[in-house]
C-alpha cells in the first residue's frame, strides 16, 4: 500500500482503501474524536489516516487494497484469512453492485430495533462492558443475514448461527471472521433434532432473523413449550416462525421471510390466528418481486415480538410494486418515515380483530386501500400520447447503412493506447470525470460517465479518455463486445485490468470515431425511451383491466385488424 503526501481522500475512499464498510470509518471518527485525523475542507490525508491505523493496531485489519486486478477483493471461505500479514476483510460495495440476496439481508437487518440494553452505534455509543445481547439465525447458511446484522450493529451484539451442513457452516464462520465490524460470533453445526446446539439460547436472544431453508426441511421445535399450533409437517415455514419466537427473550424481535402462500393458506390459519391474537405479529411487509427468498419465490417479511406485548394494530405494508429494491428503507428511521408518510395504498394499521375473521388472511394487498383509478378521460389522453410517442420513436430509428465492401479494419489495444497517453486505466476508487469510460460490475456493459452520482455505482475500472484523441462513446461501444466475451472469475463480475488492456478498438480518425459515438448515444437514448414507454404502456393496460373488472370502464369496440401477437420467428435476426 503506497502513500502520497498530497493524497486527500473522502471518508468513503478511506473505507474502500481500508477494505471496511463506511460504518466502520464513521465509528472510528465518533469513538476517537481527538485521535482520528481531522478533515481538511471535508477531505482526509491518507498518510495521516494510515499512520493512525498503524499506531492503533487497526492496520492488521486492512485488506490488500489497490494491488489486485479490480482493487480490493472480497475474500470468501476458500481464501486464506491473512494475506501479506494483513487480516482480510470484506470490501464495501456500491449499492448498485449488491445482489438480491444482499438487499434482502440488509432489509431484514434494518427492521431490527436496537436492543434496549445496547448503546446505539449510530449515536457513537460504546458497547456495554458486559456480554452483548445475542442476535441469532437458526438456519444461517453462508452467514449473509448475520453479516448484515454486523454491518448495522457492529460489535454491540453477539452473532450466533446454526447450519446443518458443516462445509457451509465453515464458510459462514469465515465470513464473520473476516468482517471488520463483527466481534463475537459462533456458528454451530449438526442435526438440530439429534444434537440441539441452540438449546442454551432458548428464550434468550434479543433478536432473531430467518430466511427459511431452501430445502423445505422440517423445522425443529427447540422449545416445544412455546407453540401457537399449526402443522409443522404441512407448513414448514410457519414452523420456523415458531422456532424463531421460542428463541427470543420476552420483548425480543424476530424478522422471518415467508412466501405469500403461507400468509393465506387455510392449513396455516390456526398458527396465524395465534400470532395475531397473542400480539406477536407486528408487521407484514410484501417486498418487490425481484427479492426472492431461499426457495426462489416471492417474499413477505413478518416482524414479530415475543409476548407479552401490547395489542397494537398490525401494520400492513405493500412494497411489491417498488421499481428498485435498492430504494427499500436501510434503517429503522427510514421504516418509521415510510410508515408515517406513505399513502393508504401502501401502509395501513389493521386492528387485530379485523384480521381474526375468516382465514386470518395476512396478505397486505387485501387490507390496503384500493389503487386510485385514472378517470376515463385522463386515461384516453395518456393513450393518445403513447401513440404519438410510438410514432416518434419509430421515425427516430436509424436506417441501416450498408458498407460498400467488407473490409478489415486495423485495431489497437487499450494497452497501446495507454502507453501513447490517449487513455489511462485508473483504480476503481478513482472519482469518475464526465466523459470517462466506466467498466461495471456484475457483467454490465461499459458506460460513459455523465457527472452524476450514478457514475460511482458498481464501478470496476475507470478509463480516463483524452477527448482530443478518442471519442468516449466510440470506445465504450467497441469495448462492449470484448468485455462480454471475456470470462470473469472474480467476485465483482468484472474483467481484470490485464484483460481490459488486451481489449481492442478500431484504429480510425477521431472524426469518424465521433460519428460512431453519436450513433451509439442515439441508440442508447432510443433504448431508454422504449423502456420508459413500455413501462407506461403496461401501467395503462393494468389500469384498463382494473377498470373493466371494477365496472369503471366498459369494453371498447375493437375494429378488425391484423393479429398483433408476436411471432417468435420475427425476433430472429
pLDDT at 69: 29
Contact status, residue 202 vs residue 177, Cβ threshold 8 Å: no
> Which comes out higher in pLDDT, residue 535 or 203?
203
pLDDT at 75: 23
Residue range 68-105, pLDDT digits in tens: 222 222 222 223 333 233 333 333 444 445 678 888 99
Identify the band that residue 405 occupies on the pLDDT scale cut at 50, 70 and 90.
Answer: low
Q: Say whether the peptide bond before residue 543 is cis (omega within 30 degrees of 0).
A: no
> Which comes out higher in pLDDT, residue 181 or 477?
477
**Residue 424 CA from chain centroid, whole number:** 31
* CA atoms of 245 and 437, how far apart (whole Å): 51
Neighbours of 147 (CB within 10 A): 24
Cell 481492442, residue located: 504
Q: Strands across the sheet with 447-448, in order?
A: 423-426, 459-465, 437-440, 447-448
pTM above 0.85, yes or no: no
- What is the overall mean pLDDT for the chain? 77
List helix spans (H) across 316-375: 332-341, 352-355
9-35 as b/e, with b when 16 or more CB fall inside 10 Å?
A: bbbebbbbbbbbbebbbbbbbeeeeee
* CA atoms of 311 and 308, how far apart (whole Å): 10
pLDDT at 506: 93
Distances (CA, A) of 322 to 289, 319, 441: 9, 5, 23
**Which of these ranges, 30-39, 254-263, 381-390, has the smallest mean pLDDT?**
30-39
> Which comes out higher in pLDDT, residue 483 or 230?
483
> Which comes out higher in pLDDT, residue 154 or 236?
154
pLDDT at 302: 94
DSSP characters over 418-429: HHHTSEEEE-TT
* CA atoms of 284 and 255, how far apart (whole Å): 10
DSSP characters over 208-266: EEE---TT-PPPP-S-TTS-----TTT-HHHHHHHHHHHHEEEEEEEEEEE-GGGGT-G
pLDDT at 336: 83
Q: Is 361 exposed, middle or buried (0-12, 13-18, 19+ CB in 10 A)?
A: middle
Identify the band that residue 295 occupies on the pLDDT scale cut at 50, 70 and 90.
Answer: low
**Which of these ranges, 29-33, 113-117, 547-551, has the smallest mean pLDDT?**
113-117
Identify the band that residue 225 occupies on the pLDDT scale cut at 50, 70 and 90.
Answer: very low
Contact status, residue 419 vs residue 441, Cβ threshold 8 Å: no
pLDDT at 56 over 90: no
Highest mean pLDDT pick, 23-32, 282-291, 373-382: 282-291
Looking at residue 504, what DSSP letter applies?
E
- The torsion angle over the Cα atoms of residues 438, 44, 150 and 93, rounded to 10 degrees, is 0
pLDDT at 335 over 70: yes
pLDDT at 359: 79
pLDDT at 115: 64
* CA atoms of 540 and 384, how far apart (whole Å): 11
**Which of these ranges, 25-29, 117-121, 135-139, 327-331, has the smallest mean pLDDT?**
117-121
Contact status, residue 284 vs residue 263, Cβ threshold 8 Å: yes
pLDDT at 173 over 50: yes
> Which comes out higher in pLDDT, residue 31 or 380?
380
pLDDT at 293: 60
Q: What domains does the chain contain, in order, with CATH numbers?
A: 8-92 (no CATH), 96-367 (3.40.50.150), 411-507 (no CATH)
Task: Provide the 3-class DSSP secondary structure of residue 407.
Answer: coil
**Which of these ranges, 119-123, 516-520, 568-572, has the smallest mean pLDDT?**
568-572
pLDDT at 563: 53
pLDDT at 535: 80
pLDDT at 568: 47
Residue range 497-526, pLDDT digits in tens: 888 899 999 999 999 999 999 999 999 999
Residue range 406-460, pLDDT digits in tens: 667 889 999 999 999 999 998 777 888 899 999 887 778 899 998 887 787 778 8
Amino acid at each position: 500500500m503506497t502513500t502520497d503526501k498530497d493524497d486527500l481522500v473522502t471518508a468513503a475512499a478511506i473505507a474502500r482503501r481500508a477494505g471496511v464498510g463506511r460504518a466502520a470509518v464513521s465509528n472510528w471518527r465518533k469513538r476517537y474524536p481527538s485521535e482520528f485525523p481531522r478533515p481538511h475542507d471535508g477531505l482526509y490525508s491518507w498518510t495521516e489516516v494510515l499512520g493512525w491505523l498503524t499506531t492503533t493496531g487497526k492496520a492488521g485489519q486492512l485488506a490488500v487494497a489497490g494491488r489486485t486486478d479490480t482493487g480490493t477483493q472480497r475474500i470468501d471461505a476458500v481464501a486464506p484469512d491473512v494475506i501479506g500479514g494483513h487480516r482480510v476483510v470484506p470490501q464495501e460495495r456500491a449499492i448498485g453492485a449488491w445482489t438480491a440476496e444482499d438487499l434482502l439481508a440488509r432489509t431484514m437487518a434494518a427492521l431490527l430495533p436496537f436492543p434496549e440494553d445496547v448503546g446505539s452505534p449510530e449515536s457513537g455509543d460504546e458497547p456495554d462492558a458486559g456480554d452483548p445481547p445475542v442476535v441469532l439465525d437458526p438456519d444461517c447458511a453462508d452467514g449473509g443475514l448475520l453479516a448484515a446484522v454486523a454491518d448495522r450493529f457492529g460489535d454491540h451484539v453477539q452473532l450466533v448461527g446454526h447450519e446443518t451442513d458443516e462445509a457451509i457452516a465453515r464458510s459462514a464462520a469465515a465470513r464473520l471472521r473476516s468482517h471488520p465490524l463483527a466481534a463475537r460470533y459462533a456458528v454451530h453445526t449438526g442435526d438440530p433434532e439429534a444434537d440441539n446446539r441452540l438449546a442454551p439460547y432458548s428464550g434468550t436472544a434479543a433478536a432473531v432473523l430467518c430466511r427459511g431453508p431452501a430445502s423445505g426441511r422440517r423445522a425443529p421445535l427447540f422449545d416445544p413449550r412455546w407453540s401457537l399450533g399449526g402443522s409443522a409437517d404441512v407448513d414448514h415455514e410457519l414452523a420456523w416462525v415458531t422456532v424463531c419466537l421460542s428463541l427470543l427473550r420476552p420483548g425480543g424481535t424476530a424478522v422471518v421471510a415467508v412466501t405469500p402462500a403461507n400468509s393465506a393458506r387455510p392449513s396455516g390459519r390456526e398458527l396465524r390466528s395465534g400470532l395475531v391474537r397473542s400480539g406477536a405479529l407486528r408487521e407484514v411487509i410484501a417486498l418487490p418481486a425481484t427479492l426472492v427468498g431461499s426457495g426462489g419465490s416471492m417474499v413477505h417479511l413478518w416482524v414479530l415480538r415475543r409476548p407479552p406485548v401490547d395489542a397494537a394494530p398490525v401494520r400492513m405494508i405493500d412494497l411489491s410494486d417498488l421499481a428498485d429494491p435498492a430504494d427499500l428503507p436501510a434503517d429503522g428511521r427510514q421504516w418509521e418515515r415510510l410508515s408515517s408518510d406513505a399513502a393508504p395504498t401502501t401502509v395501513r394499521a389493521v386492528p387485530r380483530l379485523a384480521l381474526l375473521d375468516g382465514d386470518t388472511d395476512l396478505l397486505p394487498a387485501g387490507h390496503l386501500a384500493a389503487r386510485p383509478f385514472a378517470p376515463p378521460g385522463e386515461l384516453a389522453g395518456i393513450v393518445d400520447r403513447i401513440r404519438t410517442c410510438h410514432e416518434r420513436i419509430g421515425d427516430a430509428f436509424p436506417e441501416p447503412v450498408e458498407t460498400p465492401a467488407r473490409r478489415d479494419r486495423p485495431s489497437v489495444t487499450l494497452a497501446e493506447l495507454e502507453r501513447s497517453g490517449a487513455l489511462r486505466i485508473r483504480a476503481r476508487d478513482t472519482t469518475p470525470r464526465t466523459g470517462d469510460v466506466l467498466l461495471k460490475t456484475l457483467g454490465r456493459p461499459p458506460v460513459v460517465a455523465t457527472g452524476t452520482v450514478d457514475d460511482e455505482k458498481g464501478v470496476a475500472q475507470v478509463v480516463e479518455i483524452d477527448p482530443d484523441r478518442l471519442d468516449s462513446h466510440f470506445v465504450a461501444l467497441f469495448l462492449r463486445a470484448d468485455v462480454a466475451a471475456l470470462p470473469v472469475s472474480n467476485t465483482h463480475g468484472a474483467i481484470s485490468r490485464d484483460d481490459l488492456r488486451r481489449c481492442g478498438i478500431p484504429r480510425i480518425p477521431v472524426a469518424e470515431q465521433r460519428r460512431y459515438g453519436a450513433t451509439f448515444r442515439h441508440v442508447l437514448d432510443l433504448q431508454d425511451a422504449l423502456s420508459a414507454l413500455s413501462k407506461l404502456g403496461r401501467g395503462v393496460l393494468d389500469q384498463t383491466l382494473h377498470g373493466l373488472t371494477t365496472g369503471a370502464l366498459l369494453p371498447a369496440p375493437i375494429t378488425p385488424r391484423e393479429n398483433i401477437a408476436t411471432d417468435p420467428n420475427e425476433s430472429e435476426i
